[in-house]
Amino acid sequence: MASTKTLVSQIRGGVEWNGDQGKLCCPFHDDKNPSCSVNVKDNVFNCFGCSEKGTIWQLLDRAGITYQRDSDNGNTPYDYVDAVGVLRYQSVRTPKPGGKDFFLRQPNGSGWFNKMTGVSPLLFNLPAVVKAIAKDETVVFCEGEKDVLQLKKIGFVGTTSHGGVNNWKPKLAEFLAGARIVLCGDQDVPGLKYIEKVGRSLQGTAKDIRILQLPYEIAEDHGKDLTDYIQEFGVKSFKALKAAPWEPVELPEPKAKPTLASKDTEEPTCQREKHLALFEKAEGMQTIAITEYAPIAWTVQDILSPGYCTISAGSKLWKTASRIWLGVNFC
């Protein structure tokens, strides 16, 4: 992959470099005099002419520069920027045997912290989402950054949360207040649960919620997604799909835990009653014989009785070892 500096240098008009910082004509407006500042160390840009700012990758996208972000030893980073385009953190997809994994990192000016100290979670592609809501356009909520980027290629605004299925935070619903939402998760059990969780969070917050069910059989895991559908059937077929009004699915009630009490009695309130109830429910239980023993004749009351040996000593003075030795040699 070409270096970031090489990629930025391909933008129309060229770049005047001073170390890691450069000045160029901004591709976001008809810039005659270079008014856009870029920093390839922090991977950010800022235009003083039109006030656009954001990540290097947004700048390259706007300029029409083709690139592939698969550096970092095969990892794929996804930028999470705030509503005005400032990079806050990345979700990095990393391959592993039999699948994939993700980790988060935030910029620290000279590199990355592989943690999220003091950073609030965001929605992916947030600036585009904010603009779509303002224009009353539909936002597709899908499962994974890859699907969001696929939607962008065919003219749709998409979003997702980092970490997918297990990392939806109800607070993220605030970003989608007043939005027209179409939910489209992976066609597997975890994906449907994820979309259900998101839909419930958006009730009363989003303007309209619909769901797009792709025509695939629901798998237990690793089901098909919208990128698979577009690659298999084409963009025209995807655009022809109709989203239906979303309604919450009633989740099954958890099964009640069995109790030791019988149906005709209340649940036992203490451990002894539970034990008694258990004996009462047991079938074929024989009566326990109770034997009365003769009273003990004490040589020293409550301490020493005939026929027994008592060993007394302080701590760590071989009491246990002595008992074992006596038992082995005299019993």
Does residue 240 sit in the same domain as residue 135?
A: yes
Which residue has tokens 């990393």?
94
CATH number reported for the structural domain that contains residue 202 in this entry: 3.40.1360.10
Residue 240 domain flag: yes
Residue 209 domain flag: yes
| Three-class DSSP category at 326 | helix
Residue 72 has pLDDT above 60, yes or no: no
Residue 62 domain flag: yes
Residue 2 domain flag: yes
Does residue 155 sit in the same domain as residue 63?
A: no
Percent of the chain with pLDDT strictly greater than 90: 27
Does residue 57 sit in the same domain as residue 146?
A: no
Question: Tell me: the pLDDT tens digits for 280-310?
Answer: 544 444 444 444 445 666 666 666 666 666 6
What pLDDT, on the 0 to 100 scale, is given for residue 304?
A: 61
Look at 134-148, 171-185, 234-248 and tell me which has the smallest mean pLDDT: 234-248
Q: What is the 3-state secondary structure (H, E, C) of 156-221?
A: CEEECECCHHHCCCHHHHHHHCCCEEEEECCCEHHHHHHHHHHHHHHCCCCCEEEECCCCCCCECC
Residue 117 domain flag: no
283 versus 168: the higher-pLDDT residue is 168
Does residue 47 sit in the same domain as residue 142?
A: no
Residue 185 has pLDDT above 60, yes or no: yes
What pLDDT, on the 0 to 100 scale, is given for residue 262?
A: 42
What pLDDT, on the 0 to 100 scale, is given for residue 135?
A: 95
Does residue 59 sit in the same domain as residue 131?
A: no
CATH number reported for the structural domain that contains residue 33 in this entry: 3.90.580.10
Measure the CA–CA gap between 141 and 148, rounded to whole angstroms. 8
pTM: 0.57
Query: Any alpha helices (H) in the chain, and if so which ranges?
Result: 4-9, 56-63, 71-74, 126-134, 145-153, 189-202, 226-233, 235-240, 271-281, 319-330
Measure the CA–CA gap between 330 and 112, rounded to whole angstroms. 71
Residues with Cβ within 8 Å of residue 65, at least 6 apart in sequence: 7, 8, 10, 11
Pick the last residue of a domain from 183, 212, 245: 245
Residue 174 has pLDDT above 90, yes or no: yes
Does residue 137 sit in the same domain as residue 223?
A: yes
Pick the last residue of a domain from 183, 210, 245: 245
Name the domain count of the chain: 2
What pLDDT, on the 0 to 100 scale, is given for residue 17?
A: 93
The answer to whether 246 touches 211, Cβ cutoff 8 Å, is: yes
Does residue 220 sit in the same domain as residue 146?
A: yes
Pick the last residue of a domain from 198, 225, 245: 245
- 163: domain range? 126-245
Question: Tell me: the pLDDT tens digits for 128-145?
Answer: 999 999 999 999 999 889
Query: Mean pLDDT, the chain, as a whole number?
Result: 78
Does residue 130 sit in the same domain as residue 56?
A: no
Mean pLDDT confidence for 6-16: 89
Structure tokens at 140: 């597709």
| Three-class DSSP category at 285 | coil
Mean pLDDT confidence for 57-61: 80
The answer to whether 248 touches 233, Cβ cutoff 8 Å, is: no
